[in-house]
Structure 1
Amino acid sequence: MENDKREGVYLDPKRGTVPLKGYAEKWMGRQHMAPNTEGTYDRAFRLHIFPALGHRLLSTLRPEDIEKLGRGMTEAGLSANSVDAYMTPLRAVCKAAVHNGDIGRSPFLGAKLPKLPGKAVDEIALPTGQQVQDIADEFRPEWALSVWLMAGLGLRTGEVLGLRVGDFLEDRVRVRRQVTRGKGGRGLLIGPLKHRQEGDWRDVPLPTRLSEATADHVAKYGTGADGMLFKTATGSIVATSDYASHFRKVVKLIAYEWSPHDLRHWFASTALSSGLPLLDVSRWLGHKNISETADTYGHLTPDSTGRAVRVMDVAITQHRADVVLDVAA
């Protein structure tokens, strides 16, 4: 103990003798999060983490506790991706506890959790353009445009439900906000975009046909508060959960199995397979970084092997490298 103090690595064992629930709640109170992220973390703690480990002292958590928590989520029917997402706030709390000197080692070190599937999207399993239209044809008429806006602009569900008439410019849509739920799932909020701060925005190219369809939609159905493009029967904001529920009913009716997010995948796969630059597509999708786009859709970019051969042949000839090659032979 005295040696650890001299070397500056001593940890007071009493610092971690606090219940995980209380420590995590104080940690949450110090964070600056977007409403959607705060809601996700709150659900993870309330539904999964606190019931299983909330009473445990922070300093007593071990890798086997993390593994047991993950196993319980899996047995409850959650996918590996969902388990990873619900583990994120607990992982962050443990990391902060190590950083603050409250525990010496994160219990996540050495813990074996469900293996995450590859991120690459199977383009063969995505809907065709005709199938996207089939979904739109069966949708509530006043929401039908949203199907093609997600497919044609690559928007997330919350983003398309947050669109206002003023966001539509001459040749692009300026995506500024998303619809999300408040802490504890209570109430609807208009929050900043995912991975972005309040006031941030991104521009997405607006196909002419969608521009015309949007004008027709407004003329026929009007708008909600603040020019909101989509609204409920009473004129209020459409909740993402209500939209997803309606989407599931529609695809089940026509014997499809896609989710709204598959429309976003359709946009990315169509753009990349047609030769549009990966960097541009990543920016339009609003990904946190280009590596996320590459991991998910990189295999869809056209094979450039033949083009690379032609480019290098021209470059070699222009710089007379062929003379060097002849001498070497």
Structure 2
Amino acid sequence: MELEELDANPLHKVKWKPPKVTETVDPRVAVNPRQAQELLTMVTYVGGRGRGRRLMALFAYMYYAALRPAEAVGLRLQDCYLPLKGWGRLTVDVSRPEVNTKWTDSGNAHEERGLKHRGRADVRPVPIPPELVKILRQHIDEYGTGEDGRVFRSERDGVSGSTAYTEVWQEARKLALTPAQVASPLARRPYDLRHAAVSLWLNAGVSAPDVAERAGHSVDVLLRVYAKCLDGQKDLANKRIGDALVV
């Protein structure tokens, strides 16, 4: 059509509409802080040779900093400000999504890319609480970093694969949750830790623009995706409106 070699666009004759896709997060997947801490603890008990213990900080990134898995595995020591006391900071500027090796230029399962929905040179500063700072400092003291500064790596200095950390996560769920919870959607995927983090921030009253900046969303996408996770916000909004109406 662009070369004007066809008289008409044949796709106009195709009678098909794309199926509706659910964009909102199911609030049932989000763990509360107590459940999240229990899951992180149980991760350290999974697998031989400290397999789970080596991955615990990776899951902590997803929960305390709301990082996507591809962002967490690509984080380097030089991207982390980890003070002895108080809040730290991550400077997220790279993502390592896992793809089929047939579709990468390098032939590796992880290809280095820019942040999702952002330009290649963009960065995203993420403040992190003292709890995560402590976990990361302990992880680095115990396991060091890769040659390129990567905080998370396999025993052979490779990139942590989704198959490996997902298997550990499923075993940790069985240890930390009740049988009914294991059968439920609660924290079914490691990615659900990110959903739990963003939901927690929103329900704690953190402004939507601030949450969107930390999580790497636009405000409109953030509110649309997490609309069902805003538990109790209507009552809070009603109170604020009522207070404002007082003469």
TM-score, length-scaled by structure 2? 0.76
Residue 313 of structure 1: how far off its partner (Å): 2.9
CA apart distance, 1:242? 3.4
Residue 233 of structure 1 corresponds to 155
SS at match of 1:192: coil
Which runs of no fewer than 5 residues in structure 2 stay unpaired? 44-51
CA distance in 2, matches of 1:203, 1:260: 22
- Is this contact kept in 2: 1:225–1:236, CA < 8 A? no
% identical aligned pairs:
25
Match of 2:95 in 1: 178
Tell me: higher relative CO, structure 1 or 2? Use CA pairs within 8 A at least 6 residues apart.
Answer: 2
Q: Distance in 1 between matches of 2:241 and 2:33?
A: 31
The Cα shift of 1:105 comes to 5.0
C-alpha contact 1:178 1:193 (8 A) present in aligned 2: yes
Q: How does 1:1-329 map to 2 (within 5 A)?
A: 15-16=5-6, 103=9, 106=12, 110-117=15-22, 119-139=23-43, 140-169=52-81, 171-180=88-97, 181=99, 184=103, 186-187=107-108, 188-252=110-174, 255=179, 256=182, 257=185, 258-287=188-217, 289-299=218-228, 300=230, 302-303=233-234, 304-314=237-247
Deviations 1:94-130 (A, max 9, x none): xxxxxxx87265467x52333323x333334422223
User: Secondary structure of 1:226's match?
Assistant: coil
1:144-176, Cα deviation, whole Å (9 max, x unpaired) = 111121111111011111111111125321111
Give the match's secondary structure for 2:244.
helix
* CA–CA distance in structure 2, aligned partners of residues 106 and 295 of structure 1: 31
The answer as to whether partners of 2:29 and 2:196 remain within 8 angstroms in 1 is: no
Could you say which residue in structure 2 is the equivalent of 1:3?
none
Q: How many residues of Structure 1 are paired with residues of Structure 2 in the alignment?
A: 217
8 A Cα contact 1:202 1:283, kept in partner: yes
Q: After superposition, what is the alpha-carbon deviation per residue over 1:237-281, rounded to whole angstroms, capped at 9, x for unaligned? A: 212343334333443565535101110111111101110001111
Instruction: Tell me: CA distance 1:136–1:107, structure 2 relative to 1, closer, same or farther (3 Å).
Output: farther
Structure 1 runs, 4 residues or longer, greater than 4 Å off: 11-14, 104-108, 252-255
How many angstroms apart in 1 are the aligned matches of 2:154 and 2:79?
A: 20
Alignment check: 8 A CA contact 1:179 1:239 kept:
no
Which amino acid in 1 is paired with 2:37?
Q
Q: Is the 8 A contact 1:15 1:103 kept in 2?
A: no
Instruction: Quote the Cα distance in structure 1 between the aligned partners of 2:103 and 2:173.
Output: 29
Gaps of 5+ in 1: 1-10, 17-100, 315-329
Structure whose alpha-carbon radius of gyration is higher:
1
Deviation of 1:12 after TM superposition, in Å, equals 10
Alpha-carbon distance change, 125 to 234 in structure 1, aligned in 2, over 3 angstroms: closer
122-131 vs 194-203, which moves further = 122-131
